[in-house]
């Protein structure tokens, strides 16, 4: 029955929103103050789309209740991923994981390769995996790389993934494996819940709206997504993802290299230095080989055959160039010898011993010493015409590496291949949330950056294979991370009114209130109904108050995806970070709050002096109060001294 009300209110909220925002666009824009009016209407449109996506999510809210019975005899690996978390913490989780009821094997995936942890794991009968020699000098891909590495070292049909701080309930597998009886289910995600968070949750760590109605709503659209921990995955699905990804990537790379190769070789030929010695001839062979490769691929030859052909031809040419060099060298030596004889009458016995051999030619032709290395651009093209993934430790990478939030990206790809996911709404692991502002901000920034990376690299709106509902569900999460830009406008608009007396709306007529108030009210009602008693105010506050974080995430992720700039990625520390002046970190918010208060004072003064419209002042005062109330969450966050300290003083 409650789903009926959620749907009704959701539909009405969207209707009221279109009614309001449509009217704002068409009939109420104050074009004279376009510089604030246009940003505001864009922000309002942003919010309308956000509400619509939320209502759509709630439309299919799915409460699964009791899980299906657990099938016996499945093989399961439990992975505990760690990088630099305290060893005690990792071992506590490992031992809890070992105690899980359903038969399984527990593994510590130690990206820090700590001998002490290895020793403790072995002592306690827990498996230990760290990166092998093949990773030396290769991109490590953070947690995705850690998991991919372990996937190749283990065999279980199912994988339970746990962050180092997530202590599992012994029943976690018994409560979730039943869902995999359905052949197409690849993922079961359970909530993330933190035990070191006080009632008031000053840092907004618990996400009751997300690990609840939002994931349940997405589940209804078969779009519940992987959140990195407390989830069970089907190995077969991940391996399929890795293989398909490898084939696609290789094919695309080879085609691109063959296409681009032509221009690269021509440019190299034009350079004067390439005219020297054998370089020109070598380049012409490369050109011919690339052309032959293109033709063959065009007429349906396999990538393996084509790359073999191209590499073979080029290798032969390199070898003959090296052989020519060595022959010339031998000829020079003979002349030097003749010269010595002429001068001294006796041959230099050292020279007689020198006999350049085939082995030398072979070695000097090998990739790392090849003369082709001198023509870097050409070498790079040829390095791409291969079925190996040079520059990667592993050719098959099941967990996506396109984003720092590999989890979301991976589940989106699974969905695109037709796999199903389940959100099981029961707390089956309890973890540690950040206990200070700085760490919390780092974590939020990383999530937002990762989400934006996926949006820009592999948009759910375009990825083939997703249903419309799935596209919108993934997009909804990405869209919500754009909130920072709208927040700036919502924070600026009341200040603009108080100081300059400019309204972005033509007039605050009864028409305005008749359209705006129902939208606002229905919107809040939808939230309340959807949350079903969960505390959502913290989330709303942080959505506005962390605007600098959200904006930074968007700009850095865009710079990363479009211009290859590093994100400045940091692992979220589990231990409390000391130091770091809170006011310094929160300077943008402090400045905004100060401006708002000052502007409010100016507005009040103008009203008293009879210079300001009373209704406009009232509306903007309420608006400002909302802004300040939202920002006020940061005061508690900045003063929060961590969970233990908090309990000690209470």
Partner 1 sequence: MNFEIVDRGGYTALAGTGRLNMVSAPKLRDVVTEAIGQGHNRLVLDMAGTEFIDSSGLGALVGCLKAARQAGGDLRIANVGSQVQMVLKLTSMDRILTPYASVDEAFGDD
Q: Which residues of this chain interact with partner 1, rule CB under 8 A?
A: 273-274, 276-279, 282, 321-322, 325-326, 328-329, 332-333, 335-336, 339-340, 350-351, 353-356, 359-361, 363-365, 369-375
List the Cα angle 619/625/628 in 5-degree steps. 145
Distances (CA, A) of 332 to 416, 509, 518: 64, 97, 93
Nearer to partner 1 by Cβ, of 351 and 582: the residue is 351
For 580: left if phi > 0, alpha if psi spans -120 to 50, otherwise beta; the answer is: left
Cα 524 to its chain centre, rounded Å, is 30
Residue whose entry in the numeric block shows the structure tokens 């996937």: 151
Q: Which helix (H) or strand (E) holds 232?
A: strand 231-234
Nearer to partner 1 by Cβ, of 317 and 637: the residue is 317
Q: How far is the CB of 358 from partner 1 (least distance, A)?
A: 12
Q: Which of 427, 411, 477, 409 is nearest to 187 (CA)?
A: 411
d(Cα 570, Cα 143) in Å, to the nearest integer?
A: 12
Q: How far is the CB of 369 from partner 1 (least distance, A)?
A: 6
Nearer to partner 1 by Cβ, of 43 and 375: the residue is 375
Nearer to partner 1 by Cβ, of 299 and 344: the residue is 344
Nearer to partner 1 by Cβ, of 26 and 276: the residue is 276
Q: How far is the CB of 378 from partner 1 (least distance, A)?
A: 11
Q: How far is the CB of 336 from partner 1 (least distance, A)?
A: 5
b/e burial code for range 83-101 (CB count within 10 A of at least 16 → b): bebebebbbebbebbbebe
Nearer to partner 1 by Cβ, of 92 and 383: the residue is 383
d(Cα 260, Cα 134) in Å, to the nearest integer?
A: 29
Nearer to partner 1 by Cβ, of 41 and 279: the residue is 279
Identify any residues that bridge with 79 across adjacent strands, giving them in sequence order. Answer: 107, 161
Q: How far is the CB of 94 from partner 1 (least distance, A)?
A: 43
Nearer to partner 1 by Cβ, of 381 and 433: the residue is 381
Q: How far is the CB of 363 from partner 1 (least distance, A)?
A: 6
Nearer to partner 1 by Cβ, of 309 and 360: the residue is 360
Q: At what angle do helices 406-416 and 437-457 cross, to 10 degrees?
A: 30
Whether residue 189 contacts residue 226, with contact meaning beta carbons closer than 8 Å, is answered with yes
Total Cβ atoms within 10 A of residue 120: 19
Q: How far is the CB of 133 from partner 1 (least distance, A)?
A: 20
Q: How far is the CB of 137 from partner 1 (least distance, A)?
A: 17
Q: Which of 45, 55, 46 is nearest to 8 (CA)?
A: 55
Q: How far is the CB of 271 from partner 1 (least distance, A)?
A: 9
Phi, psi (degrees; rounded to nearest 5) at 488: -60, -45
Q: Which of 522, 538, 542, 541 is nearest to 530 (CA)?
A: 522
């Amino acid at each position: 029955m409650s789903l009926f009300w959620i749907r009704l209110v959701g539909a009405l909220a969207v209707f009221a929103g279109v009614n309001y925002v449509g009217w704002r666009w068409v009939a109420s824009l104050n074009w004279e103050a376009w510089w604030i009016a246009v940003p505001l209407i864009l922000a309002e449109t942003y919010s309308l789309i956000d509400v619509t996506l939320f209502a759509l999510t709630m439309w299919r809210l799915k409460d699964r209740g009791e899980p299906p019975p657990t099938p016996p005899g499945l093989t399961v690996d439990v992975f505990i991923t760690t990088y630099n978390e305290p060893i005690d913490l990792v071992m506590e989780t490992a031992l809890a994981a070992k105690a899980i009821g359903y038969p399984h094997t527990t593994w510590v995936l130690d990206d820090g390769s700590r001998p002490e942890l290895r020793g403790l794991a072995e002592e306690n009968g827990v498996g230990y995996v760290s990166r092998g020699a093949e990773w030396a000098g290769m991109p490590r891909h953070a947690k995705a790389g850690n998991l991919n590495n372990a996937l190749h070292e283990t065999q279980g049909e199912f994988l339970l993934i746990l962050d180092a701080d997530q202590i599992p309930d012994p029943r976690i597998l018994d409560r979730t494996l039943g869902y995999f009886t359905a052949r197409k289910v690849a993922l079961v995600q359970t909530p993330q819940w933190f035990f070191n968070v006080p009632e008031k949750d000053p840092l907004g760590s618990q996400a009751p709206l997300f690990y609840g109605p939002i994931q349940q709503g997405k589940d209804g659209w078969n779009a519940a997504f992987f959140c990195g921990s407390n989830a069970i995955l089907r190995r077969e699905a991940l391996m399929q993802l890795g293989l398909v990804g490898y084939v696609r990537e290789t094919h695309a790379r080879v085609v691109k290299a063959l296409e681009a190769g032509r221009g690269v070789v021509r440019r190299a030929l034009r350079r004067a230095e390439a005219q020297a010695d054998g370089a020109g001839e070598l380049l012409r062979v490369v050109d011919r080989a690339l052309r032959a490769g293109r033709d063959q691929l065009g007429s349906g030859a396999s990538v393996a055959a084509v790359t073999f052909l191209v590499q073979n031809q080029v290798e032969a040419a390199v070898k003959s160039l090296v052989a020519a060099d060595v022959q010339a060298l031998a000829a020079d030596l003979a002349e030097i010898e003749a010269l010595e004889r002429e001068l001294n009458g006796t041959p230099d016995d050292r020279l007689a011993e020198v006999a350049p051999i085939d082995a030398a030619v072979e070695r000097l032709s090998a990739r790392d010493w090849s003369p082709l290395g001198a023509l870097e651009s050409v070498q790079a093209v040829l390095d791409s015409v291969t079925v190996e993934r040079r520059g990667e430790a592993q050719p098959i990478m099941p967990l996506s590496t396109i984003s720092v939030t590999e989890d979301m990206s991976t589940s989106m790809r699974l969905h695109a291949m037709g796999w199903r996911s389940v959100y099981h709404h029961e707390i089956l692991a309890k973890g540690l949330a950040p206990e200070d502002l700085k760490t919390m901000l780092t974590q939020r920034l990383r999530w937002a950056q990762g989400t934006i990376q996926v949006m820009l690299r592999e948009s759910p709106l375009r990825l083939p294979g997703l249903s419309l509902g799935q596209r919108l569900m993934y997009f909804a999460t990405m869209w919500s991370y754009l909130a920072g830009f709208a927040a700036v406008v919502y924070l600026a608009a009341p200040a603009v009114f108080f100081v300059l007396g400019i309204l972005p709306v033509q007039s605050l007529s009864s028409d305005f209130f008749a359209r705006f108030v129902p939208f606002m009210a229905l919107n809040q009602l939808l939230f309340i109904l959807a949350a079903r008693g969960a505390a959502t105010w913290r989330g709303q506050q942080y959505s506005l108050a962390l605007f600098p974080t959200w904006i930074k995430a968007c700009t850095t992720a865009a710079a990363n995806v479009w211009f290859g700039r590093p994100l400045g990625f940091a692992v979220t520390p589990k231990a409390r970070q000391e130091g770091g002046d809170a006011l310094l970190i929160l300077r943008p918010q402090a400045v905004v709050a100060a401006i708002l208060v000052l502007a409010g004072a100016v507005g009040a003064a103008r009203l008293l002096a009879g210079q300001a419209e009373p209704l406009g002042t009232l509306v903007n005062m309420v608006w400002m109060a909302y802004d300040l109330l939202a920002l006020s969450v940061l005061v508690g966050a900045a003063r929060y001294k961590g969970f233990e300290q908090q309990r000690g003083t209470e």
